[in-house]
Amino acid sequence: MLYDYNTQRKRMVLPEYGRNVQKMVDHIKTIEDRNERNRAAKTIIQIMGNLNPHLRDEGDFKHKLWDHLALIANFELDIDSPYPVPEPTKFVEKPRQVPYKQGNIKFLHYGRVIEMMIEATAEMDESEEKEYLITLIVNQMKKAYVTWNRSQVADEVIINDLKSLSRGMLKVSDNIKILEVKELLPQTKKKSQGKSQNRQQNKHYSKKKGYSRH
């Protein structure tokens, strides 16, 4: 007896559409009449759409299905597609490298974004906007500090770290308010003591009366 294993079959380009769709696409490539091929392709597009209804939420739903059809057919399907057939080379080219900023982060708990904000603010002229940004930065620094270190922190530590990161270009004036930790971090709600006390009283009352659940 011969067994037909998936590992022995032709590899599917888009497995989410299933083996039957792959077979149908392979079949219509053998149809000689162009009009019949076009009709068969439209039928397969409808089937593909029914198999992946989540794609309907996307604006280019139909366009995506026709692109997928071209992919499944290995760009060998000669039909009158309502959309331009994508270039095969676009699916094999390597993605562009994301230009991450190189270099070490001086204070890991503050992160790279804070350093970038400090650099940008340090280049600004003195203004109310700059003072407002410094207020946001120092409070975000304090929030990050207590989040990662799980401890209280003196405002002087934050001010000194700001001075270090800005190379002395940013200063915290008297008009800048550094918030308390309880204002920066969400407070955990304490469980109500009333319900637990009632449960204890009920237990005591039940034992006194001789009640039992069993």
Which of the listed residues 57, 91, 125 is the one where a domain comes to its end? 91
Residues 20 and 60 in one domain: yes
What is the domain count for the chain?
Answer: 2
At residue 142 the predicted structure's pLDDT band, cuts being 50, 70 and 90, is very high
Which residue would you say has higher pLDDT here, 205 or 132? 132
Rounded mean pLDDT of 120-149? Answer: 92
The label of the residue with tokens 């503050």 reads 110
- Which tokens belong to 76? 């060998």
pTM of the prediction? 0.45
Is the pLDDT reported for residue 17 higher than 50? yes
In this predicted structure, what is the pLDDT of residue 213? 47
* 117 in the same domain as 65: no
Domain co-membership, 86 together with 29: yes
Residue 45 half-sphere exposure, CB side, CA atoms within 13 Å?
20
CA–CA dist 15, 72 (Å, integer): 9
Q: Does 162 or 94 have the greater pLDDT score?
A: 162
Domain that holds residue 82: 6-91
Computed over every residue of the chain, the mean pLDDT equals 82
41 and 115 belong to one structural domain: no
Residue 29 placed within a domain: yes
Q: What is the mean pLDDT of residues 114-131?
A: 93
